[in-house]
Amino acid sequence: MKIVSVEAIPVTLPFREPVSDSWGTYEASRHGIVIVRSESGEYGAGEIAFAWFGGAHSLCRDVNNYWSEQLVGTDIADRTKLTATLDALCSFSKRHLLAKAGVEMALWDLLGKTMGVPVYRLLGGKLSDRIPLTGGMPMDSVEKMAENAVRRVSEGYSELKLKVGLDDRKDVEAVRAVRAAVPDGVKLRVDANMAWKDAKRAKALIDEMSHYGVDIVEQPLPDTMLDETAWLKRRVDAKILIDEGVWDVHDAKRVLDRNAADMLHVYISEAGGIDGARRIFELAELHGVECTIGSMPEGRIGAAASAHVAAAMRNLSARPSDIRGFTAYADDVTVEDLPIVDGQLVVPDRPGLGVTVDFDKLRAYTIQD
């Protein structure tokens, strides 16, 4: 079954609430939705997720102007050939991994729909029906964070992830307040997003936070500080989870070879798609390192792809993943929502990725680029 068209459509997906980071405040994220069609008329959908900048829209132009013609005419079952073509298109820029992920996801969706099976079956079958998620805890006042923690636990989340890194004393205080506010069985992790620049200071902070039960620390040091991260890993009780330091399997190899991670946080988008993510999981397994899955945040299409990978990977950690970024959007371009029940994402069971594009909504959110 040959590919007859590959189209990347620039969209804006509205956030429920404006999102701020150090570059600005955003009412909506700028994504690309990829639609690949086969000669049967069936379509597959993928998502180019690059939430904060306009970057995904320029990636859409690359896909439409240069990539499409290289893919049209290839059989959708020729996965090795399609992967090689997409890999060659990513030679010069890491950002293109995001475009590759969008196209690759759509190809898996199309293959699954054509064969009448969910993508997790194409990956070897699912090992679980639901994927446990962390309860997200953005930075806020200590009191608000403690309130938020109680709410998250009441929603069913059994592990909370606190964003830290701007104010060391306040961070420790927030961890202490959250620990005091929730039952002892609730696990805590922190995500420093590379904010700590000094390994010895990071060790002292982690030791303090460990006292309150923090047992996973996500990306404590900049991704360039691999030797320092390995040093830290050997000296703290908490597990070091590497996020920003790993995009694709080449990054994963570098981190694992230096023994700088207890766990890896894998993003389907950063890995260049489902197959790229699977390669990281398999490499990490050889090193005895478990993985969790993060989100860019993708919308529902990307989240569905993440769920299929999570369900099918042997060394997915029993500790929760972060496939919940899609809940930040007020609306999306699929007919179905993805249910989260008791803090666990339900893995879609329909053929392909298991989500249906609402083409009226896709048109409504398309921007003229």
List contacts with Mg ion (CB under 5 A). Answer: 191, 218, 243
- CB of 243 within 8 A of CB of 278? no
End-to-end CA distance of the chain: 31
Whats the size of the chain, residue-wise?
A: 369
Least distance to Mg ion, CB of residue 367, Å: 28
> Residue 45 carries which side chain, given as an amino acid letter?
A
Cα atoms in the 13 Å half-sphere on the side-chain side of 129: 3
Q: What minimum distance in Å lies between the beta carbon of 290 and Mg ion?
A: 16
Measured from the CB atom, is 14 or 165 closer to Mg ion?
Answer: 165
Instruction: Centre a 10 Å sphere on the Cβ of residue 182 and count the other Cβ atoms it contains.
Output: 22
Matching residue, tokens 């995009």: 247
CB closer to Mg ion out of 148 and 321: 321
- For Mg ion, give the closer residue by CB, 191 or 275: 191
Kindly state the smallest distance separating residue 269's Cβ from Mg ion, in Å. 13
Name the residue nearer to Mg ion (CB basis): 191 or 332.
191
Closest residue to Mg ion, judged by C-beta, is: 243
> Is the bond leading into 348 cis (omega within 30 degrees of zero)?
no
Amino acid identity of residue 170, one-letter, is K
Least Å distance, CB 294 to Mg ion, is 6
Nearer to Mg ion, 243 or 251 (CB): 243
Which residue number, 171 or 243, has a Cβ lying nearer to Mg ion? 243
Minimal distance in Å, beta carbon 39 to Mg ion? Answer: 41
Find the shortest distance in angstroms from Cβ 241 to Mg ion.
8
Secondary structure class of 215 (helix, strand, coil): strand
**Is 328 strand, coil or helix?**
helix
CA dihedral 9, 10, 13, 14 (to 10 degrees): -140
Max CA distance (Å), the chain: 60
Q: How far is the CB of 356 from Mg ion (least distance, A)?
A: 30
Nearer Cβ to Mg ion (62/243): 243
Quote the tokens at residue 239. 């597990």
Strand bridging mode 263-266 / 344-346: unpaired
* Rounded CA separation 276/297 (Å): 18
